[in-house]
Structures are given as C-alpha cells and as structure tokens.
C-alpha cells in the first residue's frame, strides 16, 4: 500500500536544550540529544522510554509546542518542509490539520467547561471552514468511528460526565477530525485500566486500517507497542539508542538497555523461582550525565570504549543501534 516516496517525517539531529540557571551549559540539560528519526506513510513507529528519556519532549518539539525556555536545534521535515523555523501561522495551520496529537491525561487535556461538541468541532471549523451542521455531522461520524455509543447524546455532555476510556476516545476523535496524515500519541493508554487499554489499542489498529494515518506512539509500556507498532525506537537520557522493526526488536534486542527492559518485565509464563532480572541503578540525572554513553553506569557490559559516546549506526539494513558492543547484548548474556 505504501508508495515509494520520501519519508513523511524526517528528523535529523534534533536537540532540545534547557540552559542552566546562568544561561550557560553548566547545570543545563538536553532533554533530547541529537536524535534522528524517520516516519514513513501509514507506518506506526513506537517510541519507548522511561522518565528522563525525553520522549514527551520529542513530541512537543515536533509540533513546536515545547517549553518557551527550551532551545530547539536540528531539522524536522514534514514532506520536505522544514518545521523548526516555520512561521507560527504555518505551524498553526499544520497542527490539527496534518499533524494531530493525543495527550496523556484526557481529563487535563479536555476543557472541563466546554461541551464535547464544541471541543470536537473547534479544529475542523477553523481548518476546513465547515459550517456548524456539517461539523456536527462529522463529529457524530467520528464518535462512531471511535466506538462511542449514543454519539448524539455524548456530544452534549461535558468531559466529567464521561469515563476515562471514553475521554480518551474523544481525544482520539478530536485528533482525527481533520483527517491528519500523522497522529502523535503521548502515552494514550497509561492512565487507563488494562481492559480499556486493550480496547483503545484495538481501536487504534482499526483506525489505522481504515484511514491509513501514520502514527507516532510514545509510551513506557512495551507490551502496548507489541500489539500495534511496525517499528520500535528506544530512548534513554534524551538519546535514541536502538531502532528496529517491532518483531525483531522483541525477539532479539541489541542494546543492553533494551535487553534489560524487556527482561525485567514480569511475564505470565515466567518461572517463579528466580528474582526478576532488573537493571541496577537509578534513572539518569540529565544535568549530570557521564561523558560517553549515558547508560554505561548501569550497564553490565560496559567496557573501556564506553567512555566515548557511541555512534548511531546501522548494524543490519533494518536496525540501528548506539552501542559499542559488536552484536546483540542478548546473545552474549546480559545479566542484572
């Protein structure tokens, strides 16, 4: 189905920097550090990371929604058009229309004082100039797409009258109103119960099938991505450290962090006599990263070369890693 065009979204060397208290580098930090990323049409790219990984900052920077105190450098090209230095009016025209975002906490992202109808139709009336009736009709259509029952009734309700799962569906509907090409999702299932999560993931798969929208799915939940992502990228301390097709990544992770992360998840079919293989140490302190590989202090496999920062390189045609090790860490047995 995908035509052989250039990537839909091309990110090179993206850096989001917060200066230190004195304006210099001292005490400052890089929430995102020299990141490269490609998103092809209709593709679903999952981005995995924990606290301090920079995954949410990445999404915000893509849309130009980052903190005003942050300095963003690098290149973000949407269909060849550079977004980082685009005029604010141009960005506003693109947001919601071509690149849409679904935020993490639906209760916070929805305006508690406006009815669902108002919030759903706001974007489509601004971008596509639809009249009130047409916009409402489209809203009803989309609520049905996201499997909300009694759409006409729901439109008149306020956010607090809906359950968490419903609110998340509304957020998704809002994002889809203008038929965007790229859907950015920031932890859409984290705040939800596990059965509701499963439904939302199923819904997302369905939406992708129907509309062909490309998706950038940011989460800390590796399990969720297994269900939906074509490719998975792993972030640590603001850097991308591994990227591969989903099935390959889960089957044979290369980077010790990825290995540790997958290994530490308790699974339903795991033997119970041994302790869980855990990554030792604490999440990284972005203001005090070691020179060289950011993961080295916690890595069971670190050696002399790790004091220099590893390059982002292709180890197979479909996989990139930033690690000095030759070959997958899993193959050589990464312990806790």
Partner 1 sequence: MNPSPEAPLLEVHDLEVRYPLHGGRRGASTLTAVAGVSFRLDQGESLGVVGESGSGKSSLARALLRLTPAAGRALFLGHDLLRLQGEALRATREHLQIIFQDPHGALDPHLRIADIVAEPLREFPPPPPARQDEAVRRMLARVGLGAELLGRYPHQLSGGQAQRVGIARALILHPRLLICDEPMAALDVSIRAQITNLLRDMRRELGLSLLYIAHDLASVRYLCERVMVLYRGRVMELAGREALFGHAQHPYTRALLAAEPIAQPLPAAPAPSAPPASTAPPAPGDAVASPAHAAGCVFHARCPLRVARCRAETPTLRAVAGHQVACHRAGEAVEAGDSRG
Residues that bind partner 1 (CB under 8 A): 50-51, 147, 149, 161-166, 193-199, 201-202, 220-224, 226-227, 247, 250-251, 260-262, 264-268, 270, 272, 275-280, 282-283
Q: Which residues pair with 81 in a beta bridge?
A: 78
CB of residue 164 vs partner 1: minimum separation in angstroms? Answer: 7
Rounded Cα gap, residues 75 and 246, in angstroms: 26
Residue (14 or 225) nearer to partner 1, CB: 225
Residue (79 or 205) nearer to partner 1, CB: 205
CB of residue 207 vs partner 1: minimum separation in angstroms? Answer: 14
Residue (60 or 259) nearer to partner 1, CB: 259
Rounded Cα gap, residues 151 and 148, in angstroms: 6
Question: Contact at 8 Å (CB) between 102 and 171?
Answer: yes
Residue (8 or 162) nearer to partner 1, CB: 162
CB of residue 144 vs partner 1: minimum separation in angstroms? Answer: 13
Residue (71 or 318) nearer to partner 1, CB: 318
Q: Does residue 44 sit in helix, strand or coil?
A: strand
CB of residue 326 vs partner 1: minimum separation in angstroms? Answer: 24
The secondary structure of residue 289, as a DSSP letter, is P
User: Using CB atoms within 10 A of its CB, is residue 303 exposed (0-12), middle (13-18) or buried (19+)?
Assistant: exposed
In the chain, which ranges are E strands? Answer: 9-18, 29-39, 44-48, 71-78, 81-82, 99-102, 182-186, 214-219, 231-236, 239-245, 313-316, 319-321
């Amino acid at each position: 189905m995908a035509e052989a065009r250039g990537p839909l979204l091309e990110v090179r060397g993206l850096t989001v920097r917060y200066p230190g208290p004195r304006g210099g580098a001292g005490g400052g930090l890089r929430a995102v550090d020299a990141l490269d990323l490609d998103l092809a049409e209709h593709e679903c790219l999952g981005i995995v990371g924990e606290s301090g990984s920079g995954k949410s900052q990445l999404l915000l920077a893509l849309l130009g929604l980052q903190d005003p105190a942050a300095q963003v450098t690098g290149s973000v090209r949407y269909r060849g058009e550079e977004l980082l230095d685009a005029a604010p009016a141009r960005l506003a025209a693109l947001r919601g229309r071509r690149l849409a975002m679904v935020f993490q906490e639906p209760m916070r992202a929805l305006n508690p004082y406006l009815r669902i109808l108002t919030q759903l139709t706001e974007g489509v009336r601004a971008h596509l100039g639809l009249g009130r009736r047409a916009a409402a009709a489209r809203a009803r259509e989309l609520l049905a797409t996201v499997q909300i029952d009694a759409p006409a009734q729901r439109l008149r309700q306020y956010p607090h009258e809906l359950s968490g799962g419903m609110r998340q569906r509304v957020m998704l509907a809002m994002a889809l109103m203008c038929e965007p090409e790229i859907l950015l999702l920031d932890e859409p299932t984290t705040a939800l119960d596990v059965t509701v999560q499963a439904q939302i993931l199923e819904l997302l798969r369905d939406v992708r099938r129907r509309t062909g929208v490309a998706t950038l799915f940011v989460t800390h939940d590796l399990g969720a991505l297994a269900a939906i992502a074509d490719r998975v990228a792993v972030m640590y301390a603001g850097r991308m450290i591994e990227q591969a097709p989903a099935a390959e990544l889960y089957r044979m992770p290369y980077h010790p962090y990825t290995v540790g992360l997958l290994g530490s998840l308790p699974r339903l079919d795991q033997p119970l006599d041994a302790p869980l293989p855990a990554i030792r140490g604490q999440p990284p302190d972005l203001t005090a990263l070691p020179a060289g590989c950011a993961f080295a202090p916690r890595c069971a496999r670190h050696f002399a070369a790790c004091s220099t920062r590893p390059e982002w390189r292709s180890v197979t045609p479909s996989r990139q890693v930033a690690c000095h090790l030759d070959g997958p860490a899993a193959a050589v047995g990464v312990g806790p």
